[in-house]
Amino acid sequence: MSIHEQAIKIVEGKTTLLVPKVPVDTNIPPKMPAFYNPQAKLNRDLSIFIYKAMAKKLSGRARMADSLSGVGARGVRVAVEVPEISEVFMNDLNPIAIDYAIASAKINEVYDRCSFTVMDASRFLIEHASPKNRFEIVDVDPFGSPAPYLDCVVRAVRDKGLISITATDTAVLCGIYPKVSARKYFGYSLNTEYCHEIGIRLLLGALAHSAMRLDIGINPLFSHSTGHYIRIYATIASGARYADETRDSLGYILHCFNCFNRKISSMIEKSCDECGSIFRFAGPLWIKEIHDKDFLLHLLNKITLTKEYEKMIRNSLNEADMPPTYYIPDKIADRLQLTVPRLNDIIDAIKNKGYRAIKSAINPKGIKTDAPSSVIIGIMKELNR
């Protein structure tokens, strides 16, 4: 049976995709005959905006590789919707997925700008590791953890090029399996209220480790945690100087479960400097900015975003230079048996005391602030009077 007999056409963005027909009651998209997840459309929409913005910044040629492309939902969309990208390479281990990608490329009349391969993603990336063959943009979107591909992806991207990575093993990155995180991502995760930010920072930390040994540095452009996945976008820069800067961007988040205190440190410290209880730690992980202000401004100024993404990018821009970690007043209120004041009232009160405070872009119930936990707790108690 040809794939056309089992396929349906759907439209994502400006692209028509041929995807496998699945029973209407299927919640989790099947891996066979080929994987296509309609719920990841928003994730793909955002990547299109970011690649467009990146392509406008690149000098010379712009070639994109979708290294675990599935049916080509992202890759074919890039070929159709980002004409600044001259060539798109789609690769997947599943030949049926690539048959779908080829069919979609033909329907959209972008077949001539696309290349297709069926091989293991690591092999595909290494085949593009020589300087002339490297890509300007590479996406890594596996089932579960991207850890097996990090070494190869760094080799397959040209200097100043962009890497985008999705991780869906959020239980590992967000503190349910800290030891698995340590072996896959080089750093322990920790189950705190801001564990999704820790997950982002661990993934960036793991990419940094893979890059540094090749005398390459990384520069995070934008990261988000949405639903059940974490996604990072980072450029790389060749040279020991950049690798040294990257090394200096790694450290630990120390957390006190007794008084909510957190501290960023290049070393593990044993006891909380606020209350003397044991400090738990996450890391080593990325402790510097996870968003690049200039890039986000470029994105806002040069690309027409959907309302939803414009809001997300503006929120991220606002928190770009705020400290890592956020506070969840619900959690504090729960422990101290307080009623939860309105988030905006807490934010105003923190600002009135001379600190900075904004809503977290990662968690809408969170507050990013440079105020110590004792000030936040004091404010919440005052607002309860």
Ligand X SMILES: C[S@@+](CC[C@H](N)C(=O)[O-])C[C@H]1O[C@@H](n2cnc3c(N)ncnc32)[C@H](O)[C@@H]1O
Q: Is there binding between residue 65 and ligand X (CB under 6 A)?
A: no
* Residue 346 to residue 377: CA distance in whole angstroms: 10
141 binds, among ligand X, Zn ion, none (CB under 5 to 8 A by kind): ligand X
Q: Is there binding between residue 35 and ligand X (CB under 6 A)?
A: yes
Q: Which of 74, 184, 231, 291 is the binder for ligand X (CB under 6 A)? A: 74
36 binds, among ligand X, Zn ion, none (CB under 5 to 8 A by kind): ligand X
Beta-carbon count within 10 A of 385 CB: 4
Q: Which stretch binds Zn ion (CB under 5 A): 88-96, 226-234, 272-280, 300-308?
A: 272-280
Least distance in angstroms from the C-beta of 93 to ligand X: 4
Adjacent-strand bridge partners of 280: 255
Adjacent-strand bridge partners of 117: 91
274 binds, among Zn ion, ligand X, none (CB under 5 to 8 A by kind): Zn ion
Q: Which of 7, 53, 65, 97 is the binder for ligand X (CB under 6 A)? A: 97
140 binds, among Zn ion, ligand X, none (CB under 5 to 8 A by kind): none
* Residue 208 to residue 286: CA distance in whole angstroms: 8
Q: Is there binding between residue 44 and ligand X (CB under 6 A)?
A: yes
Least distance in angstroms from the C-beta of 74 to ligand X: 4
Alpha carbons within 13 angstroms on the beta-carbon side of residue 54 total 30
The mark string for 217-256 relative to Zn ion (x by CB under 5 A, - otherwise) is ---------------------------------------x
Of residues 121-180, those binding ligand X (CB under 6 A): 121, 141-143
Which helix (H) or strand (E) segment is 114 a member of? strand 114-117
Interhelix angle 195-212/240-247, rounded to 10 degrees, is: 150
Least distance in angstroms from the C-beta of 252 to ligand X: 31
Of residues 339-368, those binding Zn ion (CB under 5 A): none
| Alpha-carbon distances, residue 11 vs 40, 108, 259, 266, 307 (angstroms) | 13, 11, 50, 48, 20
DSSP annotation string for 300-344: HHHS---HHHHHHHHHHHHHTTSPS--B-HHHHHHHHT-PPPPHH
Q: Which of 20, 36, 218, 296 is the binder for ligand X (CB under 6 A)? A: 36
Alpha carbons within 13 angstroms on the beta-carbon side of residue 269 total 17
Residues 6+ apart with CB under 8 A from 116: 89, 90, 91, 98, 101, 102, 105
- By beta-carbon proximity to Zn ion, the closer residue of 352 and 374 is 374
Least distance in angstroms from the C-beta of 341 to ligand X: 41
Q: Is there binding between residue 233 and ligand X (CB under 6 A)?
A: no
Which has the closest alpha carbon to 190: 375, 325, 322? 325
* Residue 313 to residue 299: CA distance in whole angstroms: 8
Q: Which of 80, 203, 218, 272 is the binder for Zn ion (CB under 5 A)? A: 272
Question: Residue numbers of the site for ligand X (CB under 6 A)?
Answer: 35-36, 40, 44, 68-70, 73-74, 92-94, 97, 120-121, 141-143
